[in-house]
Amino acid sequence: MAEITASLVKELRERTGAGMMECKKALTENNGDIEAAADWLRKTGLAKADKKADRVTAEGRVAMAQATGKAVLVEVNSETDFVAKDANFIDFCTQAANAALGANDVEALKSAKIGSESVEEARAALIAKIGENVQVRRLVRIDSANTIGAYVHSGRIGVLVEMTGGNEELARGIAMHIAAMNPPYISPAHVPAEFVAREKEIALAQVKDSGKPAEILEKMISGKVSKTVNEMCLTGQPYVLNTEQTVEAALKAAGAEVLRFERLAVGEGIEKVKEDYAAEVAKAMQL
């Protein structure tokens, strides 16, 4: 058995990022061969990743990358908010977003390279290091010769905006607005006809017993529906960077028009597991 020196452990740790005890074990298992030990760590990392694959990942970060004519958002999930703030996790998210500039979807991103390894290999290595399940969940991108705005708020919400006219500063401002207000539609023209019809039915039920003439009722219903639709559309909302004007007015002043936007919020649509930590501790004490 070759001697496992502290310097050898240190070298393997610097190369792989694995914990000190794991590095020592890897070297012991592979008779001091650092190359074989590095491969062993990667293999066991994948095994650990497989074991943790079913754990719910509802926390995490949204990372953004942008280059000429394109921008991407990538949502990477972790099990806890604590890990979502870990420097290793944040670094992985940043590198995954940069790699995503060359990928069209999550499956393609898994094969993209981060240095000498794939995103999927880097993910498995990260799981081995931090001890939590990590999943690259979603990727959205905009490729366009038009103006593109991108904004990420506190690593939790990311927005991409494509628009004609205006400039990147305005596009980023609109992205900030969308991050804050989460409008489901760009303008009334984008609202489904079924939604408008349903709102009319509701408005009619609210005013039909008012005793007012039919033409007055029609105006009341039209006004209620118009107000509801405008409030849920990007263009009808007060602009968060200047609440004295609507988004529509801000766009019109710059000769700009929003063509589309993408918005990702961490964990949306994932059912979080409620942990009973007291029960977990009690169970552990009985072992």
For residues 214 and 195, membership in a common domain is answered with: yes
Cα separations in angstroms, 156 against 3, 58, 73, 136: 47, 11, 11, 14
For residues 117 and 177, membership in a common domain is answered with: yes
203: confidence class by pLDDT, cuts 50, 70, 90: confident
In a domain, 273, yes or no: no
For residues 80 and 117, membership in a common domain is answered with: yes
The pLDDT > 70 percentage for the chain reads 87
Q: Are 161 and 209 in contact (CB under 8 A)?
A: no
Averaged pLDDT for residues 143-150: 97
For residues 157 and 215, membership in a common domain is answered with: no
pLDDT of 274 strictly over 60: no
In a domain, 277, yes or no: no
For residues 75 and 14, membership in a common domain is answered with: no
Q: State the pTM of this model.
A: 0.75
Q: Are 50 and 123 in contact (CB under 8 A)?
A: no
Round to whole Å and give the CA distance between 138 and 54: 17
In a domain, 34, yes or no: yes
For residues 67 and 131, membership in a common domain is answered with: yes
Averaged pLDDT for residues 81-109: 96
State CA 131 to chain mean position distance.
21
For residues 175 and 229, membership in a common domain is answered with: no
pLDDT of 277 strictly over 50: no
In a domain, 154, yes or no: yes
Q: In which residue are the tokens 């610097």 written? A: 14
pLDDT of 84 strictly over 90: yes
Which pLDDT value is given to residue 54?
52
Round to whole Å and give the CA distance between 80 and 133: 9
For residues 176 and 123, membership in a common domain is answered with: yes
Least confident range of 23-32, 171-180, 256-265, 270-279: 270-279
Q: Are 151 and 172 in contact (CB under 8 A)?
A: yes
More confidently predicted of 7 and 100: 100
Round to whole Å and give the CA distance between 2 and 76: 40
35-55 pLDDT per residue, tens: 888 877 766 664 444 444 455
In a domain, 257, yes or no: no
pLDDT of 100 strictly over 90: yes
CATH classification of the domain holding 114: 3.30.479.20
Averaged pLDDT for residues 247-263: 98
Q: Are 57 and 270 in contact (CB under 8 A)?
A: yes
DSSP three-state, residue 41: helix
CATH classification of the domain holding 45: 1.10.8.10
In a domain, 283, yes or no: no
In a domain, 40, yes or no: yes
For residues 135 and 63, membership in a common domain is answered with: yes
For residues 117 and 95, membership in a common domain is answered with: yes
For residues 83 and 165, membership in a common domain is answered with: yes
DSSP 188-245: GGGS-HHHHHHHHHHHHHHHTTS---HHHHHHHHHHHHHHHHHHHBGGGSEETTEEEE
Round to whole Å and give the CA distance between 132 and 82: 11
Q: Residue 167's domain spans which residues?
A: 59-181+262-267
In a domain, 67, yes or no: yes
Point out which residues pair with 138 in neighbouring strands. Answer: 75
Indicate the average pLDDT of the chain.
87
For residues 130 and 150, membership in a common domain is answered with: yes
Angle between helices 20-29 and 6-16 (to 10 degrees): 110
160-201 pLDDT per residue, tens: 999 999 999 999 999 999 999 999 999 999 999 998 999 888
Which pLDDT value is given to residue 136?
95
Q: Which two tokens stand for residue 1?
A: 């058995």
Round to whole Å and give the CA distance between 99 and 254: 33
217-247 pLDDT per residue, tens: 788 888 888 898 999 999 999 999 999 999 9
Cα angle 55, 113, 130 (rounded to 5 degrees) comes to 35
pLDDT of 285 strictly over 50: no
Least confident range of 98-107, 148-157, 199-208, 274-283: 274-283
Which pLDDT value is given to residue 17?
64
Which pLDDT value is given to residue 123?
93
DSSP 249-278: HHHHHTT-EEEEEEEEETTTTPPPPPP-HH
Structural domains counted in the chain: 3
176-185 pLDDT per residue, tens: 999 999 999 9
